[in-house]
Amino acid sequence: MKITKYIVCGLLGLLAGGACTTNFDEYNANPNQMDKGTIGPEGLLENLVFKGAECLLHRTWLLHGELVQYTVSTSSLNAYHRYIIPNGIPADHWATQFQWAATAQEMYELAVKREDPNCQAIALTMKALYLSNCTDGWGDIPFSEAFKGYEGVSKPKFDTQEEVYRGLYDLLEEANGLYDATRKLSTPAKDLLYNGDISKWRKFTNSLYLRLLMRCVNRDAELGVSERIRRIAENPATYPVFASNADNATLFYTGEPPFRNYFGTMTDTNFTSTGRAAADNIIQMMARSGDPRLAIYFVRSGDSWEGLPSGEPVDETTNLSGVAKLNKPLLGDYSSPFSLMKYDEVLFILSEVAQRGIVAGGTTQAEAWYKAAVKASISYWSGIDPSGNVVGDDVVEAFLNGVAYDGTLARIIGQKYIALFWVGFEAWNDYRRTGFPQLAIGNATSNGHTLPTRFEYPVNTAKTNPERYAEAVARMVETYGGGDTMTTPVWWSKQASGK
């Protein structure tokens, strides 16, 4: 049996600058190199989750924390927090997210042939997750013509982000309607997220749906976001979402090969001391409020909590004396878990939709969901803290009193920003969507002293699909007055929508 090309790439390991490096255009031209009928859909599930999440985990550490001031690179050779980002760094993210979306598409097609609705639904959910990461990073992307190389489509068009999001919603609606709780996975051990628990997969599908609906709240008129959100919120039996931390889409690595956290092989020094130190922004934000998660996320190095300033010159970001470090036993041990999405995010979304008046309940309901979100976040991180120290209820209540809900979106997103630590690119997405939290832009930043609003398309994509690339760039110029740069906004953003 031939081996699927996109699985092989995932198994090759992580290359310099990023995880599995591949070329999306190759997948579009030749997405399937296996012998049909020799593998079932569950045969793709294990790597679809494991390697896809691993790629996202790596970029959470490598790039996302640098953008949103969770971390600051301690190397004079790395200037991501100064917005000097070589094209190849986000290009790897583009490649791997498309790679695993292609695998999800193949899993879906196999599941259709096997008449397996649950595997169809799982595949659609993962495809939506990975393609949302692509459109959120770049804007317009290949979508409707993606993965159709076998139909002769080797140069797919770039759909507008509005079209992509309509398509993502369709994928998740279809997935939700496919789940059949009376049918079980034949090999639940291959399901590294939920061990074959179909009810939890369905909750993940609809929780992801809520995330992607909230992403486009500034485009309510175009996509009918409010109506869709109300339908989910008012029909929990039809659209179940996460109801506790037990539903989280979290990979709990065993620590045994091959199911190990990618950073397990990395030394503490390379992971944080000479890799990523704590940024002063998040350190001071958490220290001021007495946040009990501060000593879970980070390790204090002096008598007081200090971090490195983001976006400042090299001589201000390489002196590590007294600077807090990432907690490697928590985040980067062989068995350290990694989450694609958690219960607290759902609660913060619900708090926001109540605050915006999209659902009933007003301030009272928004506050209740806000408090529940903060508690859920603290409970999750306290529960996986390798030190074994448990954050008591009295500590949580005292903290909540200090960050009491004040009716503002800034307060909701401020706490959501802290809770989203180590969850892909979600804080960057919220920042571009809402403008919160307010981040001080460093004096040594590039990109016109503007926190990147998107990534530049991969050079290889521009070379291999030049006509379609040129169409996408021309559309950006016409719509936003900017081309393929890191200052042109994405369609759903606050900047582009004017909201």
How many CB atoms neighbour CB 360 within 10 A?
10
Burial of 153: CB neighbours in 10 Å, binned 0-12, 13-18, 19+: middle
Q: Which of 194, 220, 188, 219 is nearest to 207 (CA)?
A: 194
Neighbours of 145 (CB within 10 A): 17
At 249, which helix (H) or strand (E)? strand 249-251
Nearest to 212 by CA among 241, 191, 234, 238: 241
Q: Which residues contact 298 (CB under 8 A, 6 or more apart)?
A: 278, 283, 305, 324, 325, 326, 327
In this structure, what DSSP letter does residue 457 have?
A: P
Report pLDDT for 156.
Answer: 97
Distance CA 176, CA 125 (A): 9
Distance CA 165, CA 156 (A): 17
CA 192 to CA 50: how far, in whole Å?
7
For every one of its 499 residues, what pLDDT tens digit does the chain have, with 9 covering 90 and above?
233 333 333 322 323 334 443 333 343 433 334 444 568 999 999 999 999 999 999 999 999 999 999 999 988 778 999 999 999 999 999 999 999 999 999 999 999 999 999 999 999 999 999 999 999 999 999 999 999 998 999 999 999 999 999 999 999 999 999 999 999 999 999 999 999 999 999 999 999 999 999 999 999 999 999 999 999 999 999 999 999 999 999 999 999 999 999 999 999 999 998 889 999 999 999 999 999 999 999 999 989 999 999 999 999 988 899 999 999 999 999 999 999 999 999 999 999 999 999 999 999 999 999 999 999 999 999 999 999 999 999 999 999 999 999 999 999 999 999 999 999 999 999 999 999 999 999 999 999 999 999 999 999 999 999 999 999 999 999 999 999 999 999 999 999 999 9
How far is 499 from 497, CA to CA, in rounded Å? 5
The C-alpha atoms of residue 81 and residue 73 are separated, in whole angstroms, by 7
User: Which DSSP letter does residue 15 get?
Assistant: B
Name the nearest CA neighbour of 487 among 442, 426, 446, 431.
446
**391, 382 contact by CB (below 8 A):** yes
Task: Identify the pLDDT of residue 275.
Answer: 87
The one-letter code for the residue type at 55 is C
* 318 SS3 class: coil
The predicted pLDDT at position 153 comes to 95
- Separation in Å, CA 435 to CA 66, 325, 495, 497: 17, 27, 9, 12
What is the number of other CB atoms lying within 10 angstroms of the CB of residue 352? Answer: 23
Minimal CA–CA distance to 298: which of 381, 376, 373, 374? 381
Helix (H, G, I), strand (E, B), or coil: what is residue 98? helix
User: Using an 8 Å Cβ cutoff, are 325 and 270 in contact?
Assistant: no
Which residues are bridge partners to 141 per DSSP? Answer: 159
